[in-house]
Structure 1
Amino acid sequence: MANTENQVIEIIPTLLVGDQTFDPANIPSSTLCIEIGDQQIRFCIVKEENMECVWLEDYTLDQTLTQEELFEKVKRVFTGHLLWSSSAWKSVRVAVNSGLFSLVPSLLFDEQNTTGYLSFSAGNAPSRQDIVLHHELPLVHAHTVFSMRQSWHEWILNHFRSSHLSFYHFTSPLVIGALVSHLEHQEIRIVSLYFEKDQFTLTLTESQQLILCNRFRFKEVHEMAYIVLFTLGQLGYEPEEVKVLCYGEISATADAYQELSHFLPGLQIGSRPTTLKYNSQCAEVPGHRYFGLFNTYLVSS
C-alpha cells in the first residue's frame, strides 16, 4: 500500500496483514498504534467504533545502519504510505522500546528530576541526542520515565500534529497486558516474559497488582532461566506458585521455552489481548508475538 508515484519505500515489511477494503475515510475515527525500537518498527490500526484491529505491519530494521540512516529510511515508510502518511488519525499511540527507562512511584515522582531517574537507574545520563519523556500509569500508581531520539520525537510530533498523540515506554503496554491477563486466566500470580533478540522483560503481577517489572539481557538460555528462577526466589515465590506466560520472539519449540519448561510447570505461550477484536487476517497472526503492540492501544483506553 505504497504511494510509488512520490516515494520509493526502501524497507520491505516482514509481515503485512489487514483488511484490504479499509477505507482511508475511516482514519479520523481510528487509532494508529506504533511500536518503535532499535530492531523493528510495527504498526496496527484499531477501529474505535468496535475496538477491532484491522491492520498490522512489521518492519525489521537493518542493524548495520546508523541511527541517522535508519531515521531517513523509516521516514520514507511514513511519507510513502497511503495510510501512515495521513495526519488525520483520531489518535496515535507510540510505544518506544528504548533501553533507558525507570518506573517511579507516583508519590515520589518529581517532574523536574526525570533525567536524574534515568541516570540513577542506568548509571549514566541520557545521550545529548535523546529527549527524556514520562507518562503516568494510574493502574499501578507510577510514572514511567524513558528516553527516545529527539529527532524521531520531533518528526513524529510534526507528522501527526493533527492527531491526539501519546508516547509510552514499551514496558507500559506489557504491564497493562499483564494486569489484564488476571481476568483472562483467573490466576492469582502471573509472570509475563516478553522475549526479544537478546533480552527479555519480566513482569510479575499478583491479584491484579504490579509487583515487579524489569528488563534483563542474556546470552545463553540457561542464563535466562537462572535469572527468572533467581528473581522468583528473591521475591519469595516458588516456581509451582505462578502461571508463566511467554510473549514476543519465542515459540513452544524454541530453546528458551524448552529450558524454562524444565523448571516452571505453569509455563505456556501467551495470547493476544481479548479486550480487542480482530478481523480474520489479524486473527491468524500469532498474537503473542505482537502482545506489546496490541496492548499499546489499551494503555489509554
Structure 2
Amino acid sequence: MPVAYTIQPTYAIDDASLLETDLTTCTLLVLIGSGTFSYAVLSPVTRRFLALKSYSYQPRTLAVADLEMIEQIFDADKLLFTAFKDVLLAFDSPDSTLVPESLYQSQLKKDFLHAAHLEKMQEAVLADHLPDLGMVHVFATDKDILGFLRKEFSSDRVVHAYTALLKSYRQDNDVQFSDGVVFIEIQPQHFALTIYAAGKLLLQQQFAYRSGLDIVYYIVNSLRQLGLNEQQAKIKLGGALTHDSQVYQELNRFLPRLDWVKKPHNFLYIAKMNDVPAHHFHNLYALALCV
C-alpha cells in the first residue's frame, strides 16, 4: 500500500499581520516550477508582502506526477482555499521565446514557440505582452496543471516567471551599464540568463546545469558572442545561493564583478522577510510587478 504523508513547506514566513488582515482584499502570487510550488500574499492597499511559502519535491518527467504533488500541497495548505481578491499564476517553464512586438501575430504564437522549442504533448501556449521592451513573451506550460490551478483559484491571470524578472530587472540602474550586466536566476537544476547592455535587452534564455562551472561557461560564451567581456560585465545573482555555496565559489573564481539582485522596490516586506537574503525569493517577489 502507498504511504500517505503530509507534504511540508521548505520555507514558511509570516507574522501576526497575516491574521490581522482581511485576506479577501489581498492578492495571491503563485509560482510553479520544476519540482517547486511557491506563493506569496500581497496586500495591494499597503503594497506589503504578508506571507510566503515554498514547497519542493522531486521533479518528475511526467506532468501527472507533478500534478499529484500539487494536489497534495492543496490538501495540506488550507490558506490556498482563501477567497483572495486576485490570484496570479506564474510558470517557470523552459519552453519560452521572445518575439518582437512588430512581428507578433496571436494566431501564429505556436509557430513562434515551436521554431525554438519542440512541441510537447498536453501543452498550453500563452503569451505575455511587454510593451516597454517592444516584445511578446510566448511560452508553453502543461495543460492539465494549468487547468487544475485555474479551476482551484477561479483565475485566468497567467504569466511566465521570466516576464516578471524582466520587469524587475528594468528597475535596476545597472541595465544602463555599457559593458553589460548579466542577471542570473538560479534554480536547483536550471537557471535563467538575461543580458542587458546600455539599456537594451540582448538575451534571455534558460539553461540546465550540474555545477557552477556550467553556469560560468554559459555566461562567458554568451557575453563573448555578444561582443562583451566577462571581466568587465557585472553579474547579478538571484536564487537560494550563499557566499559559501559551491556554485557561488565557482562563479567567483572566474567572474570578478559578482553581486546580488535586490527585492523589487516600492514594496514593503515583513521583518522576517528582510531577515532572509533579498535574492533568495526575488523571482517570487517580482510577480507583484505583473499585478
Aligned residue for 2:91, secondary structure, equals strand
Deviation at 1:103, TM superposition (A): 1.0
After superposition, give the CA deviation of every residue in 1:203-258 in whole Å (9 maximum; x if it has no partner). Answer: 11234432211112233432321221111111111224322111113222222222
Aligned residue for 1:36, secondary structure, equals strand
Deviation at 1:9, TM superposition (A): 7.4
Distance in structure 2 (CA, Å) of the matches to 1:9 and 1:293: 27
Q: State whether structure 2 residue 181 is matched by structure 1 residue 190.
A: yes
Q: Which amino acid in 1 is paired with 2:64? A: E
Give the aligned partner of residue 119 of structure 2: 125
Give the aligned partner of residue 216 of structure 2: 225
Contact 1:221 1:256 in 2 (8 A): yes
Q: Paired residue for 2:204, among 204, 210, 213?
A: 213
Contact 2:60 2:66 in 1 (8 A): no
Q: Paired residue for 1:138, among 103, 121, 131?
A: 131
Q: 1:65 to 1:190 in 2, by over 3 A?
A: closer
Percent identity of equivalent pairs: 23
Give the aligned partner of residue 59 of structure 2: 63
Distance in structure 2 (CA, Å) of the matches to 1:118 and 1:65: 21
Give the aligned partner of residue 276 of structure 1: 267
Distance in structure 2 (CA, Å) of the matches to 1:97 and 1:229: 24
Stretches of structure 1 that go unaligned for 5 or more consecutive residues are 1-7
Q: Normalising to structure 1: TM-score of the pair? A: 0.87
Give the aligned partner of residue 4 of structure 1: none
Distance in structure 2 (CA, Å) of the matches to 1:177 and 1:116: 28
Q: State whether structure 2 residue 8 is matched by structure 1 residue 12.
A: yes
Q: Paired residue for 1:147, among 128, 140, 151?
A: 140
Distance in structure 1 (CA, Å) of the matches to 2:199 and 2:35: 31
Q: State whether structure 2 residue 285 is matched by structure 1 residue 294.
A: yes
Contact 1:115 1:126 in 2 (8 A): no
Distance in structure 2 (CA, Å) of the matches to 1:190 and 1:119: 29
Q: 1:298 to 1:225 in 2, by over 3 A?
A: same
Aligned residue for 2:171, secondary structure, equals helix
Q: Which amino acid in 2 is paired with 1:255? A: Q
Q: Normalising to structure 2: TM-score of the pair? A: 0.89
Distance in structure 2 (CA, Å) of the matches to 1:99 and 1:65: 13
Distance in structure 1 (CA, Å) of the matches to 2:49 and 2:176: 25
Q: 1:223 to 1:63 in 2, by over 3 A?
A: closer
Deviates further, 251-260 or 96-105:
251-260
Aligned pair count reads 287
Give the aligned partner of residue 88 of structure 2: 93
Distance in structure 2 (CA, Å) of the matches to 1:282 and 1:219: 29
Q: Which amino acid in 1 is paired with 2:263? A: R
Distance in structure 2 (CA, Å) of the matches to 1:64 and 1:203: 26
Stretches of structure 2 that go unaligned for 5 or more consecutive residues are none
Distance in structure 2 (CA, Å) of the matches to 1:38 and 1:24: 33
After superposition, give the CA deviation of every residue in 1:152-181 in whole Å (9 maximum; x if it has no partner). Answer: 2122222222x5x42111211221221112
